[in-house]
Amino acid sequence: MRREYIIEACSGQSIEVLKDEKITVIDLEGSQVVDFFAEARDNPSEFLSTGVTIDCNNSLKLKVGDMLFTNFYNPMFKLLADDVGEHDLLHPCCRPEMYEFFYHNGAGHPNCLENINRSLNKQYPIIHPVNLFMHTKINSDGSISVEQPLSKPGDKVIFKAEMDVRLGIAACSVSESKCNGGKCSSIRVIIEGDMIE
């Protein structure tokens, strides 16, 4: 069974996904970051952890074949395909305080923390998602810089769910920097069953 969702610019959505279903996330216009987060459906205290994912994969980068792990060190997703090869595991969801700190416009600014919390009906104080398509340059001296995403219109990543989950996905709201190429746009998510290896 195939389900399609359009997540509009600067918004978020919750999507239920069953074990072994395939999740395709498509950057429709290019250079749009997607905050990709999830909870275990049967245990909301278990959720996607970028820190554990870095730990288990021994890498700050994702490559095809890698697993994304939960805070309990259980596999949650497997990366099956990736058109871009550049994603961010370091930055937390944008939030009003972040906009205030960097751009002095936090009041009322749409943001991924609130969009994902609202979609999941939760109040996480901070969320560390996998920031799909986000291009964070990591320099040899430890400094980082956020560059324009490398994703082009139609580029996608495909995951397989390793457990039943509730996705919380947001189309990132940052238009003030290179993060989304200076503008925000919508994304498409496709969920497909009958996974074939």
CA distance linking residue 159 with residue 111, whole number of Å: 24
| Contact of 67 with 56, CB cutoff 8 Å | yes
In a domain, 101, yes or no: yes
What's the number of domains the chain is made of? 1
In a domain, 51, yes or no: yes
In a domain, 197, yes or no: no
pLDDT at 36: 98
Q: What angle do CA 30, 34, 37 make, to 5 degrees?
A: 160
Reduce the secondary structure of 15-54 to three states and give it as a string. EEECCCCEEEEEECCCCCCEEEEEEECCEEEEEECHHHHH
pLDDT at 196: 47
| Contact of 183 with 104, CB cutoff 8 Å | no
Question: CA quadruple 117, 120, 126, 127: dihedral positive or negative?
Answer: negative
pLDDT at 1: 86
Question: Count of CB atoms within 10 A of residue 46's CB?
Answer: 19
Ranges of residues in the chain whose predicted pLDDT is under 50: 195-197
pLDDT at 50: 98
| Contact of 160 with 78, CB cutoff 8 Å | yes
In a domain, 33, yes or no: yes
In a domain, 20, yes or no: yes
In a domain, 89, yes or no: yes
pLDDT at 92: 97
Query: For residue 31, what are the domain limits?
Result: 2-192
pLDDT at 140: 94
In a domain, 7, yes or no: yes
CA distance linking residue 18 with residue 101, whole number of Å: 39
Provide the token pair at 20.
Answer: 């072994």
In a domain, 63, yes or no: yes
pLDDT at 184: 96
| Contact of 115 with 173, CB cutoff 8 Å | yes
- The Cα-based distances of 144 to 20, 44, 47, 129, 161 in angstroms read 35, 32, 26, 18, 31
Query: What is the β-pairing status of strands 187-192 and 22-27?
Result: antiparallel
Statement: the pTM of the whole predicted model exceeds 0.85: yes
Q: Which of 160, 139, 165, 152 is nearest to 41 (CA)?
A: 165
Instruction: Determine the residue type at 10.
Output: C
Write out pLDDT tens, residues 23-72: 999 999 999 999 999 999 999 899 999 999 999 999 999 999 999 999 99
